[in-house]
């Protein structure tokens, strides 16, 4: 190779590699490799401490063996209910709060904003126990408040009843996270150009009508982002159930989510031993569910909304 050719080649830019190396190394070693390895483990089983390839046998067990499939479908169904309650309550309440906060010249805006976002900052452990205490029939705070409103007959040990525990937990989680849709949608509302609003006012579209006809369609992309964030968060939720109801997700598994089911399967509980391959199988199913949701968002919802916005 002649000197000319070496000179003509651009110099190797090592600094790019240096800048990228630490992030890529940590991210690959602790995020991508474990994720791929977990997917791989779902195709193996452990016999006498030896990993043996078994193909899709674990999935056949998960869906075919009644002991497994019953728990899996129960957890999945609870997770779907958990998600639906978030979508039906957290997002509308968040949108309503954001709409009120974005009204021009609102007094006390900063105070409201700060206070409503506070629960989002607290850990699941705090939120779980705080509500567990408040709803406890032993302490009597919740029946006391309902009594003051003349609604005492409504009170029940909600977290302890199979029929109401999941809904109660979902509402506690909604209470904690309303701040996120509120804040993101509030920001999107503030970003709507002044001219659009002025044009609407000239056409006589004001107040509530203006919100539904002009503003809400313009912030739909943000509602989409909030929805996918909620979806991903809900389908790997664990902490709140573990704190409030324990790893058994009682009463009688009525609050079991995929996250708690994965935890119990992996670590074992009561008489059942922990099983890392079945745990990996459940983790793989969670991965597929989340991936499907993200794909639907990216390809179906986001592209359509962009077009709509134009």
Partner 1 sequence: MTTAKARTSLIRSGLMHLALIAYTALCLAPVVLIVINSMKSRAAIFSSPMSLPGPKTFDLIGFTTVINQGNFASYFSNSLIVTGTSIVAVLLFGAMAAFALSEYRFRGNTLMGLYLALGIMIPIRLGTIAILNIMVATRLVNTHLALILVYTAQGLPLAIFILSEFMHAVSSDLKNAARIDGLSEYAIFFKLVLPLTRPAIATVAVFTMIPIWNDLWFPLILAPGEATKTVTLGAQSFIGQYVTNWNAVLAALTLAILPVLVLYLAFSRQLIRGLTAGAVK
Name residues contacting partner 1, limited to 163-192 (CB under 8 A). 175, 183-184, 186-188, 190-191
* Min separation Cβ 170 and partner 1, Å: 16
Which of 165, 170, 259, 264 forms a contact with partner 1 (CB under 8 A)? 259
Q: Which is nearer to partner 1, 31 or 60 (CB)?
A: 31
According to the binding rule CB under 8 A, does residue 302 interact with partner 1? no
Stretch that binds partner 1, among 52-60, 105-113, 154-162, 197-205 (CB under 8 A): 105-113
Q: Which is nearer to partner 1, 119 or 160 (CB)?
A: 119
* Min separation Cβ 130 and partner 1, Å: 5
Which of 243, 248, 250, 301 forms a contact with partner 1 (CB under 8 A)? 243
Cβ(244)–Cβ(159) under 8 Å?
Answer: yes
* Min separation Cβ 15 and partner 1, Å: 4
* Min separation Cβ 3 and partner 1, Å: 25
Distances, alpha carbon 292 to alpha carbons 83, 139, 262, in Å? 15, 44, 19
Q: Which is nearer to partner 1, 242 or 253 (CB)?
A: 242
| Contact set for partner 1, span 116-135 (CB under 8 A) | 116-119, 121-126, 129-131, 133-134
């Amino acid at each position: 190779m002649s000197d000319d050719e070496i000179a003509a080649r651009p110099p190797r830019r090592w600094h790019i590699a240096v800048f990228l190396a630490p992030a890529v190394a940590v991210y690959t070693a602790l995020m991508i490799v474990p994720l791929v390895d977990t997917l791989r483990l779902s195709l193996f089983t452990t016999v006498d401490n030896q990993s043996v390839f078994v193909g899709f046998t674990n999935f056949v067990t998960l869906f075919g063996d009644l002991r497994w499939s019953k728990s899996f479908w129960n957890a999945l169904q609870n997770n779907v209910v958990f998600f639906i309650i978030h979508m039906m309550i957290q997002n509308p309440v968040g949108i309503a709060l954001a709409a009120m906060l974005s009204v021009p010249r609102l007094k006390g805006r900063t105070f409201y904003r700060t206070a409503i976002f506070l629960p989002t900052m607290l850990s699941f452990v705090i939120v779980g126990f705080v509500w567990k205490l408040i709803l406890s029939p032993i302490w009597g705070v919740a029946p006391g408040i309902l009594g003051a409103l003349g609604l005492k007959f409504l009170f029940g040990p909600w977290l302890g009843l199979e029929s109401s525990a999941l809904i109660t937990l979902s509402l506690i989680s909604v209470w904690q996270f309303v701040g996120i849709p509120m804040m993101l949608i509030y920001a999107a509302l503030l970003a709507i150009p002044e001219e659009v609003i002025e044009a609407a006012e000239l056409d006589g579209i004001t107040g509530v009508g203006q919100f539904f006809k002009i503003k809400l369609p313009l912030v739909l992309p943000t509602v989409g982002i909030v929805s996918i964030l909620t979806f991903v968060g809900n389908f790997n939720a664990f902490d709140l159930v573990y704190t409030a109801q324990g790893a058994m997700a009682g009463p009688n598994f009525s609050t079991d989510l995929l996250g708690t089911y994965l935890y119990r399967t992996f670590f074992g509980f009561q008489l059942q031993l922990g099983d890392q391959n079945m745990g990996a199988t459940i983790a793989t199913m969670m991965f597929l569910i989340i991936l499907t949701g993200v794909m639907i968002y990216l390809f179906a919802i986001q592209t359509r909304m962009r077009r709509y916005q134009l």
